[in-house]
Amino acid sequence: GENVEQHPSTLSVQEGDSAVIKCTYSDSASNYFPWYKQELGKRPQLIIDIRSNVGEKKDQRIAVTLNKTAKHFSLHITETQPEDSAVYFCAASKTGGYQKVTFGTGTKLQVIP
Amino acid sequence: DGGITQSPKYLFRKEGQNVTLSCEQNLNHDAMYWYRQDPGQGLRLIYYSQIVNDFQKGDIAEGYSVSREKKESFPLTVTSAQKNPTAFYLCASRTPAGSGEQFFGPGTRLTVL
């Protein structure tokens, strides 16, 4: 089955700096890669996703890149703000039917004011 | 928020007791999922269901059972066979395959006394 590894497990950055979280996946058939943000005590919420036919996707300060050959994808947050502090999860799955979604172990991001 | 609800928010159980966690959604989604979240381990899939009266085991199904009698409801029973049930449990539903986003409920925190 699919295996998703996520690094780092914790990340501290100064406000205004950039943060990068990296994930690798094992199943070359996976073609959908979402990122979720979970604030303390709350539910995970989708912040951005990318499909395998695209190499990069941006949404304001957030971007995701995908390297299908190397089977890794990354989340980039620019101009970090204190409200970006949360746990971020990457995930991988196939589309076409209701497939399993495999999550990484999460990255706790702390933005220091 | 809204669309997918879980109850109760907190649940305490004595060892040897079965408990049932509720998950309801009004998003008209076919697929529903149960995850267990432990510190540092991300989201691990317990069971998922693609349609009414059908469900599949996830990665950590032992000691859990589910039912899917209605499209809107996907209750999870934590049985006495689950050796370490104390955790945060998240229910999710998923949009049709073309989109793929999962929507999560607010979670139930189960503590075994």
pLDDT of residue B2: 55
> How many angstroms away from the CA of A83 is the closest CA of chain B?
18
CB B111 within 8 A of CB B11: yes
CB contact under 8 A, B45 and A104: no
- A14-18, A24-28, B78-82, B87-91: which range is least confident on average? B78-82
Q: How far apart are alpha carbons B113 and B96 in whole angstroms?
A: 40
The sign of the CA dihedral B15, B54, B2, A58 is: positive
Mean pLDDT of chain A: 93
Separation CA B77–CA B20 (nearest Å): 4
Backbone torsions φ then ψ of B108, nearest 5 degrees:
-125, 125
Residues of chain B contacting residue A104, judged by C-beta atoms under 8 Å apart: 42
Spatial contact of B111 and B19, defined as CB atoms under 8 Å apart = no
Q: What pLDDT is recorded for position B97?
A: 59
**Which residues of chain A neighbour B90 with C-beta distances below 8 Å?**
43-44
Among residues A34, A35, A65, the alpha carbon closest in space to that of B100 is found at A34
Beta-carbon neighbour count of residue A86 at 10 Å? 21
Q: Which residues of chain B have pLDDT under 70?
A: 1-2, 97-99
* Residue A103 at interface with chain B, using a CB cutoff of 8 Å: yes
Cβ atoms of residues A63 and A23 within 8 Å: no
Cβ A23 vs Cβ A76: under 8 Å: no
pLDDT at A98: 64
User: Pick from B111, B112, B75: which is nearest to B91 by CA?
Assistant: B75
Q: What integer is the mean pLDDT of A56-84?
A: 96
